[in-house]
Amino acid sequence: MKKIYISLFALSCYFISGCSNDFLDVDQTESVSTKDIELFNNDAGAATFVTSIYSKFLDYNMSSFSWNGVTSIASDDADKGSSPGDTGTDKDVMDALTYNPSSLSIVEIFSANYEAINRCNQAINIIPQLDKADANLRARLIGEAKFLRAFMYFTLVKTYGGVPIIDRLPNPSSQEDRIMQLARKSKEEVYAFIEKDLTEAALVLLDKSQYPNSEKGRASKGAAYALLAKVNLYQKNWQKVIDNCNLVTGYSIVPNYASMFRLAGENDAESIFEIQGTGQGVGSATIKGIQNYSVSQGARGAGGWGWGFNTPSESLLNAYEAGDVRKNATIIFAGTTLYDDRVVPLTVENPRYNYKAYSSAIPDADQSDTNIKYLRYADVLLMKAEALNELNQTTVAIPLLNEIRTRAGLANTTATSQAAVRIAIWKERRVELAFEHDRFYDLVRTGQAVAAFAIHGKTFVAGKHEVFPIPQIFINESAGLSNQNPGY
């Protein structure tokens, strides 16, 4: 005790000599300080910054309930579903196109994508500092981050029009960075930024075949070109669509359409980029799936297993030609038996449910094992066909369309004129890609929205509904630096 006392007294006197700042330097113990970047200065450490971006896809606000609200329930492919009294917070207004700038789905998709963009920017900022990690790996990881950043901006620009471009980590006290975060850029500027990121990413990414089986979820060279083609498609740069589609190699159409949406079909030969949900049952919070993605779309009511939202619409049902195998692969009908022998009784609340979100093993789990197909080769073929047709190469386009139809169990298309083939491709896109979060944007892109929504029984106001409102929370923050989309 006495010794301690003397030494403490000495320590106390030590202050007088002015060294107390060292005394006050305390190492953080409850969380890993950002000062200790050296902990991540290796291959595995560098990779963690990119993994966190992929992880964002699994969050509830990113790819689940709100995402369905914006891309599916709002479209003519789906209805809100569920019980009439259960609005799912705002899914009723999403369905009716009567949403407003504070509707939760609209706010969540905006904020979730910017959260993911922050993770991209963190990775792009930090990984170059990790000089002990392999240089090629670092380049590839930055490529993945850029692909993913482009992915988020593509979602944002399709959904909201021009948005602020955050291309670096903002300094909270910089006025310039403040403006960067609050002033909307034009749609064209956003597309240019996306193309730049994708072009840079494509140069350094690996082919899908080069990734080990445990990492098939990573962005690949093919994914970058496929996404670039789609970005070109939205800007009607037809030749670029064809060029980039031609660069998507090593993929093929799988013979069985339905197989793609089952566990065995995850990351199959047709898959270019998909979100990897690998949850493991009820109560297993540490193992992540796409949160509530399956259960929120599962059959509701007696004999069901889910919340019953996002149900296939009458309009979609009518879009399938007779004999199209895709109908029964896309839609669960009440009163039928599923591929895994699960009986869906007639007592469930809605007549139809989304089959593509169904998890056989753990249908009622919060963290399900279902993946979301974001880009697949069928989409690439249809994009290429559409571009060829637009460039008056209709005869070259038709076989591509027929390849898709054949797999669906349908006869070759009867369309021959450029205009008829255009309509045929658009229709094919709908039934091929139903419930893959493409339809709403496709309707807007192709200008079919007003007519399609009329059939669906909803009113699509031209000049307004092409984009969703910018969240009010952002408009308030911007204090005049950004304006709301027209009509909202």
Partner 1 sequence: MRNFIFSFLALIMLPAYMSGQVIKGKLVDPTGMGIPGASVVAVDSKTSTDTDFDGNFSINAKVGEIIKFSMIGFDAISVPATANLMTVTLKESEDTALKEVIIIGYGTRKKIDNTSAITSIKADEVSKMKVLNASQAIQGKAAGVQVISSDLPGSAPSVIIRGLGTALGGRTPLYIVDGMPTDNINNINTNDITSYEILKDASSLAIYGTRAANGVIIISTKKGKGNEVSIEIETFAGFRSPLKTVKMAGSNKYAHYSNDALQTTTFSQDQPVNTDWFDAITRTGVYTQNNISVSGSSENIKYFFSVGNYEEKAILNGLDFSRTTFRSNNEFKISKKLTLNQNLSFGTTKSAPKPLDAFTNAYKQSPIIPVRFSNGQYGVSFVGANGFAGPAGSSFNNVGNPVAQLDYFNEQQRSIILQGGLKLDYEIFDSLKFTSQFNGEYYSWKNYNYEDSKAIWETNNNPGQLSTIIYPADRNINVLTKGRSQYFNWNLSNYLTYNKVFAEIHDLEVTAGIESSVRGPREELRIARRNVNANANYWSLANVDYGGTVLSYNDAVFNENKIASYFGRFQYKLKDRYLLTGTLRRDGSSNFGREYRWGTFPAIGLGWIVSKENFLTDVKALNLLKLRGSWGKLGNQNVPLNNQAYSIAGNNTYLGGSILFDGTTINSQIDPSLSWEVTEEASIGLDFELLNNKLKGSFDVYDKSTNNVILNTRPLITSGISNSSPAHVGEVSNKGYEIALRWDDKVNDNVSYWIGGNFSNNTNELTKINNAILAPRTGGDLLNGQFTKILDNTSVGKPLGSFFMYEYAGFDATNGNKLYFDATGNKVTQDALNASTDKRYVGSILPTSTYGVTLGVNYKNIDLSVDGYGTSGAKVYNGKKAQRFSGENIENSLATDFWSSNNTTATTPAPFNQVPVASTYYMESGDFFRINNISLGYKIPLEGMFVNTCRIYVNAINPFITQKFSGFSPELNGDGDPYGSQGIELNAYPALRSIVIGANLKF
What whole-number distance in Å separates Cα of residue 420 and Cα of residue 394? 10
Q: Which helix (H) or strand (E) holds 204?
A: helix 187-204
What whole-number distance in Å separates Cα of residue 100 and Cα of residue 488? 7
Residues 343-382 close enough to bind partner 1 by CB under 8 A = none
**What CA–CA distances, in Å, run from 197 to 7, 152, 247, 372, 411?**
60, 11, 17, 23, 40
C-beta of 92: minimal distance to partner 1 in Å?
14
What whole-number distance in Å separates Cα of residue 179 and Cα of residue 177? 5
Q: Which amino acid is at 430?
A: R
Residue 84 touching partner 1 (CB under 8 A): no
Residue 108 touching partner 1 (CB under 8 A): no
Residue 341 touching partner 1 (CB under 8 A): no
Residue 8 touching partner 1 (CB under 8 A): yes
Query: Any idea what DSSP says for residue 159?
Result: H
What whole-number distance in Å separates Cα of residue 35 and Cα of residue 433? 46
Residue 288 touching partner 1 (CB under 8 A): yes
Residue 117 touching partner 1 (CB under 8 A): yes
Nearest residue (CB) to partner 1, 215 versus 314: 215
- State which of residues 203, 287, 451, 454 lies at the interface with partner 1 (CB under 8 A): 287
Nearest residue (CB) to partner 1, 294 versus 310: 294
Residues 128-167 close enough to bind partner 1 by CB under 8 A = 163-164, 166
- State which of residues 179, 461, 473, 487 lies at the interface with partner 1 (CB under 8 A): 473
| Cα four-point dihedral sign 342, 347, 351, 352 | negative
Q: Which helix (H) or strand (E) holds 225?
A: helix 221-234
Residue 274 φ/ψ, nearest 5 degrees: -140, 155
Nearest residue (CB) to partner 1, 261 versus 353: 261
Tokens 């740069």 belong to which residue?
237
Q: Cβ neighbours of residue 250 under 8 Å, at least 6 residues apart?
A: 207, 208, 209, 222
C-beta of 121: minimal distance to partner 1 in Å?
8
Q: Which two tokens stand for residue 438?
A: 């493409």
C-beta of 424: minimal distance to partner 1 in Å?
34
- State which of residues 5, 175, 264, 480 lies at the interface with partner 1 (CB under 8 A): 5
Residue 276 touching partner 1 (CB under 8 A): yes
Stretch that binds partner 1, among 10-18, 92-100, 236-244, 419-427 (CB under 8 A): 10-18
Nearest residue (CB) to partner 1, 119 versus 445: 119
Nearest residue (CB) to partner 1, 31 versus 414: 31
The number of residues that bind partner 1 (CB under 8 A) is 75
Nearest residue (CB) to partner 1, 7 versus 239: 7
- State which of residues 52, 393, 418, 484 lies at the interface with partner 1 (CB under 8 A): 52
C-beta of 398: minimal distance to partner 1 in Å?
35
C-beta of 189: minimal distance to partner 1 in Å?
15
- State which of residues 63, 66, 72, 181 lies at the interface with partner 1 (CB under 8 A): 181
Stretch that binds partner 1, among 20-28, 223-231, 232-240, 349-357 (CB under 8 A): 20-28
Residue 212 touching partner 1 (CB under 8 A): yes
How many CB atoms neighbour CB 145 within 10 A?
26
CB 99 within 8 A of CB 113: no
Q: What angle do CA 72, 310, 451 make, to 5 degrees?
A: 45
What whole-number distance in Å separates Cα of residue 248 and Cα of residue 224? 9
Residue 45 touching partner 1 (CB under 8 A): yes
Q: Which amino acid is at 264?
A: A
Residue 33 touching partner 1 (CB under 8 A): yes
Residue 58 touching partner 1 (CB under 8 A): yes
Residue 25 touching partner 1 (CB under 8 A): yes
Nearest residue (CB) to partner 1, 99 versus 320: 99
The number of residues in the chain equals 488
C-beta of 484: minimal distance to partner 1 in Å?
15
Reduced to 3 states (helix: H, G, I; strand: E, B; else coil), residue 40 is helix
CB 149 within 8 A of CB 59: no
What whole-number distance in Å separates Cα of residue 167 and Cα of residue 122? 10
C-beta of 292: minimal distance to partner 1 in Å?
16
- State which of residues 47, 124, 415, 467 lies at the interface with partner 1 (CB under 8 A): 47
Residue 251 touching partner 1 (CB under 8 A): no
C-beta of 261: minimal distance to partner 1 in Å?
16
- State which of residues 244, 267, 330, 370 lies at the interface with partner 1 (CB under 8 A): 267
Stretch that binds partner 1, among 178-186, 198-206, 303-311, 399-407 (CB under 8 A): 178-186
CB 305 within 8 A of CB 299: yes
Q: Which helix (H) or strand (E) holds 311?
A: strand 309-312
Helices (H), 335-407: 377-390, 394-407
Instruction: Tell me the Ramachandran region of residue 474: left when phi exceeds 0, alpha when psi lies from -120 to 50, beta otherwise.
Output: alpha
Nearest residue (CB) to partner 1, 27 versus 131: 27
- Choose among 35, 34, 36, 11: nearest CA to 23: 11
